[in-house]
Amino acid sequence: MNPDNFETIHIETDLLILGGGMAACGAAFEAAYWAKKNNLRVTLVDKAAMERSGAVAMGLSAINLYLGLKNGKNSVEDYVNYVKTDLMGIARDDLVANIARHVDSSVHLFEKWGLPIWKDDEGNYVNEGRWQIMVSTVQLRGKCIFYIKSRG
């Protein structure tokens, strides 16, 4: 393709999400929920082919953060303390806590969508280290894209 001769497409939208990696797919999934109710248009644009772009397309063998809040494995405070220690105190507690508060439910959602997560004989997720759980596939974002599309 000649870089001086890109086709220009005009799209009217209320919310523009740039990039199509896990962060953008998550934002689009959440936005679609609220946008549909309020009749707003959400557009996600990636510079590459959505199904193959982004870091997750390179491979994924684990989910690097899972707290296990419902089993009492860790608390939000544990994670905030861990991050603050790791970053030598330079972290916003409220932002870190917000990630910690929501991450387990995102993992449960991926499992519901069909992401195989390793389990032990008692049916608990298999940890490698304190915060990481193991998964059996690289299909994470493909599933996310499928559900975004299914939300229109």
Ligand X SMILES: Cc1cc2nc3c(=O)[nH]c(=O)nc-3n(C[C@H](O)[C@H](O)[C@H](O)COP(=O)(O)OP(=O)(O)OC[C@H]3O[C@@H](n4cnc5c(N)ncnc54)[C@H](O)[C@@H]3O)c2cc1C
Binding site for ligand X (CB under 6 A): 18-24, 45-48, 53-56, 58-64
Closest Cα partner for 27 from 39, 12, 11, 44? 44
The residue type at 139 = Q
Phi-psi category of residue 114: left, alpha or beta, with phi > 0 → left and psi -120 to 50 → alpha: left
Phi then psi for 65, rounded to 5 degrees? -140, 115
**Angle 50-53-59 from CA coordinates, rounded to 5°:** 125
Q: Is the CB of 4 or the CB of 121 nearer to ligand X?
A: 4
Q: Shortest Cβ contact with ligand X: which residue?
A: 21
Question: Minimal distance in Å, beta carbon 50 to ligand X?
Answer: 7
Tell me how far, at minimum, the Cβ of 110 lies from ligand X, in Å.
11
55 or 126: CB nearest ligand X: 55
Q: Which is nearer to ligand X, 24 or 35 (CB)?
A: 24
Nearer to ligand X, 80 or 115 (CB): 115
CB of 42 to ligand X, least distance (A): 15
Least distance in Å: CB of 37 to ligand X? 25
* Beta carbons within 8 Å of 41's beta carbon, 6+ residues apart: 12, 13, 14, 15, 35
